[in-house]
Chain A
Amino acid sequence: MKILTLIFLMAFSLLNADELSNAYQKEFTFLKAQKSELQTRLKKEKSFQKKELAKAKAKVQSLQNKLVTLSQTNETIAKQIDKSALMLEDKNSNKQISSSVVIQAKSLLGEYAIAVNDTKDMDVVAVMDKAFKETSSLYKKLSSVQTTKGKFYLVDGTTAEGEIVKVGNIAAYGMSSNAKGALAPAGNGEYKVWNKDTTADALAFATAQPKRDVKIFIYENLDKDIEYTKEKSIEETLAGGGTIGYIILALGALGVLLILARIFLLAKSGSNVKEITDVVISKVEAGQAHEALEAIKSYKGATARVIKATLRNIDKERDHIEDIVTENILNESSNIDRFGNFVLVLAAVAPLLGLLGTVTGMIATFDIITTHGTGDPKLLSGGISEALVTTMLGLVVAIPLLLLGNLMSGWAQSIKDSMEQSALHIVNLFEINKA
């Protein structure tokens, strides 16, 4: 039974298995077909995507190119705008320049009664052209020698009628029956005869036979002589310093005198220290201390006096001699130091006075500023230059006085030192010799 059931089961299952495998087979073929379909779809999809991507890329590329070209054109346009702005500016400034030229021409040519039309809507170029033409003809006229009829004043104040030879616009010669000569402006467009004898020169011009050298009076226009800017002389510079400048200079002169006196005094007292000492030493070393006094009798000056006093008392006790030497040197030092401190005081005072002058000059400058304002630098610079001149004078005085004064004090000190030294040396030598 059991086996029967088993066999049955097996048979059944075998039958069924066949059916099942068929089913599977069917399923498999179906799935396979589906898979291949899906794969073809995938392929399609992929190629489609690729195409799309390529299309998008190309689009982006073209857009980029477009952007680049657009920005380039933008740049060039901006440059053009800048250029035109510059050109506009140039044009404007040119316009300003030309209009100012026209104004200038109008004012300049106005003096010679030549009208320049400068109404607003006129063509500036034409106006300028005309003005230049007229100016050049005027220039030619003014730079030539012309003869006109006219009158001029004589030296005694009377008027004379005659010919006036104009040398350009800067000089003129007058020719009349009673007087000939160069003319100088007398104001108001009138001439007067120059107060130097220039008859021959005037004749030379009138007859057009130019001489090699002519006396001529040159003026800027008929109201004004030529202003010559002169190089400042030393006197003028000094005058710029004012009262304080002169005070400083006076102090400086005093200082120089004192220095000279001092050089004289010091040379007198210091020149023969070594000489005297040598004479005395040779005598003392020979044991003739008392003859030494005789030997230096002819010598003059501070050193000689000190050494003489030393020799006179050389037999006394040491302390006594030293006191005498010291006292003698003190006595002489008033002479040796004479004027020394005063010179140094002058040297110290001179820059201070210069500073004082500076301050007063600045005060004057500020007074000018309060009354006239700062508009004209010429007014201001006058005061400032005055202020600086005093400082300069102060320094000019102080520097040599300081230098010489210091060197003199050094010299005086060395003279005193060497006097003391040689007196000491002589006493020592005397004692050594005596022993």
Chain B
Amino acid sequence: MLALSLYFDQFIHFMNAGGIVMWVLFVLNLPLWYALGYRYFTLKRGTRGNIRRLIEKHEKRKSEKVYVGLLDYAIADALTAAETAKKISKKPREYMYDALFPYIIITSKYSVLVKTIVMLAPLIGLLGTVGGMIETFDALQSSSMFAQGDSIAGGISKALFTTELGLVVAVPGLIIGKILDKKEEQFSLEFEQIVDIISTKDEK
């Protein structure tokens, strides 16, 4: 418990050494990780195996099928939409797009936010750096020969800490964000595949 409060004190000290920019970065960090977590859990595939097999399974088992992932729900909805279209003897493609649209929205949710924060964090760090340098040079400007006091060291620590925290915020966000983007791309390809497979099946 004591160690924990010690760490907390150190953290506060570290943050205050970097000035207000540090807190901005820290606050930006929270939505970033919320968005990354949200995307991680929504982009879980759940089921293994390729799309063709999944669709076959769904057609065979119908309602007994246990849904384990986003893809299962998407395939089920697409199949229902295709059936509805078949009933009124229309092409099922449009109906399936209609049914899949909510899933596309879910898979792309927060991706812009993640990208924006990852882009902004180093810039904000740089802003803190520049602010710190300005403080340092102001201190130089108004100092006499030997009395270059706290504000120089303060400015430099501001300059360094903010860059550091900017990168600390941005780099994991960048890496994990890219992985999740790849997953999202995979999902949109698989949705296309679902639509193509089901619509060609019915045209036979």
Q: Does A99 contact B (CB under 8 A)?
A: no
Q: Does B192 contact A (CB under 8 A)?
A: no
The stretch among A29-37, A175-183, A303-311, A391-399 that forms the contact with chain B is A391-399
Interchain CB contact (< 8 A) of A424 among B89, B94, B112, B138: B94
Query: Are A381 and B141 also in contact (CB < 8 A) when A399-B120, A407-B112, A417-B105 are?
Result: yes
Q: Does A382 contact B (CB under 8 A)?
A: yes
B120-A382 in contact (CB<8A): no
B90-A385 in contact (CB<8A): no
Residue of B nearest to A321 (CB): B94
Q: Which of A258-295 contact B (CB under 8 A)?
A: none
Q: Does A53 contact B (CB under 8 A)?
A: no
Nearest CB of chain B from residue A283's CB, rounded to whole Å: 18
The stretch among A20-28, A200-208, A427-435 that forms the contact with chain B is A427-435
Note all chain B residues with C-beta closer than 8 A to A378. Answer: 140-141
Residue of B nearest to A405 (CB): B116
Note all chain B residues with C-beta closer than 8 A to A169. Answer: none
The stretch among B47-55, B123-131, B169-177 that forms the contact with chain A is B123-131
Interchain CB contact (< 8 A) of B130 among A229, A381, A388, A417: A388
Q: Does A403 contact B (CB under 8 A)?
A: yes
Note all chain B residues with C-beta closer than 8 A to A130. Answer: none
Q: Does A318 contact B (CB under 8 A)?
A: yes
Nearest CB of chain B from residue A237's CB, rounded to whole Å: 8
A402-B131 in contact (CB<8A): no
Given contacts A381-B138, A410-B113, A424-B97, 9 further A-B contacts (CB under 8 A): A322-B94, A385-B141, A392-B131, A395-B130, A398-B123, A406-B119, A424-B101, A432-B84, A435-B90
- The CA-CA distance from A232 to B113 in the complex, in Å, is 36
Note all chain B residues with C-beta closer than 8 A to A396. Answer: 127
Interchain CB contact (< 8 A) of B116 among A398, A406, A427, A434: A406
Query: Are A402 and B97 also in contact (CB < 8 A) when A229-B142, A389-B134 are?
Result: no
Q: Can you sample 22 A-B contacts with CB below 8 Å?
A: A237-B134, A381-B138, A381-B140, A385-B138, A388-B133, A388-B137, A395-B130, A402-B120, A402-B123, A403-B116, A406-B112, A407-B112, A407-B113, A409-B112, A421-B101, A424-B98, A425-B98, A425-B101, A427-B94, A428-B94, A428-B95, A432-B84
Q: Does A157 contact B (CB under 8 A)?
A: no
Q: Does B115 contact A (CB under 8 A)?
A: yes
Nearest CB of chain B from residue A188's CB, rounded to whole Å: 26
Q: Does A189 contact B (CB under 8 A)?
A: no
- Contact flags B55-96 to A (C-beta < 8 A → 1, else 0): 000000000000000000000000000001001111100110
- The CA-CA distance from A304 to B30 in the complex, in Å, is 37
Nearest CB of chain B from residue A203's CB, rounded to whole Å: 38
Query: Are A399 and B123 also in contact (CB < 8 A) when A407-B116, A410-B112, A428-B94 are?
Result: yes
- The CA-CA distance from A431 to B91 in the complex, in Å, is 11
A402-B140 in contact (CB<8A): no
- Of the four ranges (under 10, 10 to 19, 20 to 34, 35 or more), the interface on chain A belongs to 35 or more
Q: Which of B127-157 contact A (CB under 8 A)?
A: 127, 130-131, 133-134, 137-138, 140-142
Q: Which of A363-383 contact B (CB under 8 A)?
A: 377-378, 381-382
- The CA-CA distance from A407 to B95 in the complex, in Å, is 30
- Of the four ranges (under 10, 10 to 19, 20 to 34, 35 or more), the interface on chain B belongs to 20 to 34
Note all chain A residues with C-beta closer than 8 A to B142. Answer: 229
Note all chain A residues with C-beta closer than 8 A to B90. Answer: 318, 431, 435
- The CA-CA distance from A431 to B84 in the complex, in Å, is 10
Residue of A nearest to B141 (CB): A381
- The CA-CA distance from A406 to B124 in the complex, in Å, is 16
Nearest CB of chain A from residue B92's CB, rounded to whole Å: 10
Residue of B nearest to A411 (CB): B112
Nearest CB of chain B from residue A244's CB, rounded to whole Å: 14
- The CA-CA distance from A380 to B88 in the complex, in Å, is 81
Query: Are A391 and B130 also in contact (CB < 8 A) when A424-B94, A428-B98, A432-B88 are?
Result: yes
A392-B130 in contact (CB<8A): yes
Nearest CB of chain B from residue A435's CB, rounded to whole Å: 3
- The CA-CA distance from A434 to B84 in the complex, in Å, is 12
Note all chain A residues with C-beta closer than 8 A to B126. Answer: 391, 395
Nearest CB of chain B from residue A402's CB, rounded to whole Å: 6
Note all chain B residues with C-beta closer than 8 A to A421. Answer: 98, 101
- The CA-CA distance from A409 to B115 in the complex, in Å, is 12
- The CA-CA distance from A431 to B90 in the complex, in Å, is 9
Interchain CB contact (< 8 A) of A406 among B94, B98, B115: B115
Residue of B nearest to A354 (CB): B130
Interchain CB contact (< 8 A) of A382 among B84, B89, B131, B141: B141
* Residue in B87, B120, B130, B133 whose Cβ sees the most chain A Cβ within 10 Å: B130
Note all chain A residues with C-beta closer than 8 A to B133. Answer: 384, 388
Query: Are A399 and B98 also in contact (CB < 8 A) when A389-B134, A435-B87 are?
Result: no
- The CA-CA distance from A397 to B141 in the complex, in Å, is 26
- The CA-CA distance from A384 to B140 in the complex, in Å, is 11
Nearest CB of chain B from residue A390's CB, rounded to whole Å: 9
Note all chain B residues with C-beta closer than 8 A to A434. Answer: 88
- The CA-CA distance from A282 to B60 in the complex, in Å, is 34
Note all chain A residues with C-beta closer than 8 A to B127. Answer: 392, 395-396, 399
- The CA-CA distance from A398 to B116 in the complex, in Å, is 12
- The CA-CA distance from A152 to B130 in the complex, in Å, is 50
Note all chain B residues with C-beta closer than 8 A to A377. Answer: 140-141
* Residue in A322, A384, A388, A398 whose Cβ sees the most chain B Cβ within 10 Å: A388
Residue of A nearest to B125 (CB): A395
